Structure 1
Amino acid sequence: MSDLRHRESAPATVGGTRLRPIEDPDWPAITRLESGAYGPDGLTETPQALRSRAYPATSFVLDTGGRIGGYLLALPYPPRSFPDLNRPEGRAHRSPNLHLHDIVIDPDLRGCGWGRRLVGHLSTLARSQAYQRISLVSVGGTAGFWTVCGFGPHPDVALPGSYGPDAVYMSRAIG
């Protein structure tokens, strides 16, 4: 997706920890976090697939000053659609819908509100870039978290088994 025209997301700082755009040296840490979070459920993606879902204007890392403490990958995607976990994206989509494909917080930083902060930062970016909705696929029993964040389920959207047995397509309007 290197041919995409975009604005870089501006860094946001909270107590010395900042949210910033993804840089090439971040990918080994992102891959480790992704594998640790999704590997036990068999949902790990290849590094190439992960990179293909990192739209530069809406994907970022949680930089704790010495390490990557989390990340969020989001890309424009048609409503009621979602990436195929078994292959990288072949092209960029033009859509009023922004798909939050992946969010992971390091286990040492969980329970401190970082997940909500990353989602809030994404919402701010989405609003500034005139997206109308944010969608996602909830996996691993996380639908409750997403409901608290304002997302509603769409049980009529069929998901492939590659997303796991409890996967739910969810979305919310950008307010």
Structure 2
Amino acid sequence: MTSPRWRPLRASDLATASRIAALIHPDYPEDDAVMAERLRLCPEGCFALVADDGALLGYAVGHPWRARSVPDLDTLLGALPAPAGAWCIHDVALLPDARGRGAAAELVGLMRAEARRRAVAEMVLVAVGNAAGFWRHHGFRPIPEVPPPGYGAGAALMVGDI
């Protein structure tokens, strides 16, 4: 397999992305309507990682949001805040075979580029599990604000510069 590539997420990808989410994030379930809404509200922030044969190997969801906060998991937004104070990286999930090839680092660049394009002041996310080290490596730092309860104990709200 050559290096997978990121492309815009499509509505036709949502069922497969949902299966990937269930495999990669079993402790953080979300209704399929959440990802579908994020795609509808901000298609420029939704990406699919695909293999040469078009198979979906991962996905990522980002959108404008309020500074130093994130919406809780499994929550429909209704609308995006305007103006937004931050770019929220809501979800990133890569199948194990797609890891270690630079795709996640490339995704951070794609998200950062969209945040710049939208002229927001910062990027924000919640690191769960062992992900905080990855995000620190890419310029994010924990902040004292507490993430919403849906992320569970040990989750860290983090911000990164644009």
Aligned equivalents of 2:10, 2:3: Cα separation in 1: 19
Q: TM-score w.r.t. structure 2 length?
A: 0.89
Partner of 2:159: 171
Q: TM-score w.r.t. structure 1 length?
A: 0.83
Matched, 1:136 2:125: yes
Cα distance per residue 1:134-160 (max 9 Å; x no partner): 100001121111000100100x21223
Gapped regions of structure 2 (runs ≥ 5): none
Matched, 1:158 2:158: no
Gapped regions of structure 1 (runs ≥ 5): 1-14
1:52, CA displacement in angstroms?
A: 2.3
Matched, 1:146 2:135: yes
| RMSD over aligned Cα atoms | 1.6
Aligned equivalents of 1:173, 1:160: Cα separation in 2: 21
Amino acid at match of 1:132: A
Q: Is the 8 A contact 1:53 1:101 kept in 2?
A: no
Alignment of 1:1-175 (within 5 A): 17-39=4-26, 42-54=27-39, 55-64=42-51, 65-94=53-82, 95-154=84-143, 156-174=144-162
1:44, CA displacement in angstroms?
A: 1.1
Count of matched residue pairs: 157
Query: Relative CO higher for 1 or 2, CA cutoff 8 Å, sep ≥ 6?
Result: 2
Higher relative helix content:
2
